[in-house]
Amino acid sequence: MPVRVDVATNTDAAALADIAAITFPLACPPSVAVGDIEAFVAANLSSQRFGEYLADPDCRVLTAVDEERIIGYAMLIRGISADIADFVEYRPAVEVSKMYVLPEWHRRGAAGELMEAGISWACAQHMRALWLGVNQNNPRAQRFYRKHGFEITGTRAFQVGAALESDFIMVRAI
């Protein structure tokens, strides 16, 4: 069944938070405590936080939609954070901050549609690169990003509650 990609609006904030609550834990390694994951979701992926993201002019949230139901999303944020500046050669750049689809949509093309729409948006914004952080213990996500032209350029720490995780920084020039 085909998936369409839309630009999220304020009316999507609650649905995005629901998707995030389901999908974010799936990307966390087993070493991260459930309570830490829940606290991270509450602080960063609530309906209120999505409302803030949607109001941010440097942020673009895309939704993957099956008929009328959101089944995944991608969040793109213009800029490069100071902790990874040395790993992103091309400027200006945009971060693929979040990209998740519901588990029943894995391997059905929804994430690829989101990624292609994100790349198209970045090109239209005259960006020269996309970058992202992906947990070093998530080879499936790493394979997906490599398939879409991303290469590992460095590492960083990523905090989820008490857990300090190690991410690869991956970059795609455009």
Alpha-carbon distance 32 to 161, whole Å?
8
- Do residues 113 and 137 touch, judged by C-beta distance below 8 A? no
The answer to whether residue 158 scores a pLDDT higher than 90 is: no
Q: How confident is the model at residue 117 (pLDDT cuts 50, 70, 90)?
A: very high
4-173 placed in CATH 3.40.630.30 = yes
| pLDDT digit string, tens, across residues 32-84 | 899 999 999 999 999 999 999 999 999 999 999 998 899 999 999 999 989 89
pLDDT confidence of residue 159:
86
CA distances from 112 to 73, 108, 116, 126, 160 (A): 11, 9, 6, 21, 26
CA distance 63 to 57: 17
Please say whether the beta carbons of 119 and 147 come within 8 A: no
CA dihedral 12, 37, 105, 117 (to 10 degrees): 50
Average per-residue pLDDT in the chain? 94
Between the alpha carbon of residue 99 and those of residues 45, 52, 86, 153, the distances in Å are 12, 17, 23, 19
Q: What is the DSSP string of 16-70?
A: HHHHHHHHHHHHS-TTS-HHHHHHHHHHHSSHHHHHHHHH-TTEEEEEEEETTEE
Per residue in 126-138, pLDDT tens? Answer: 999 999 999 998 9
Q: For the chain, how many residues are written? A: 174
3-state secondary structure of 11: helix
pLDDT recorded at residue 156? 93
pLDDT at 30 over 90: no
Angle subtended at Cα 161 by Cα 136 and Cα 42, rounded to the nearest 5 degrees: 110
CA 135 to chain centre: 12
Q: How far apart are CA 52 and CA 43, in angstroms?
A: 12
pLDDT at 162: 80
Residue 1 has pLDDT above 80, yes or no: no
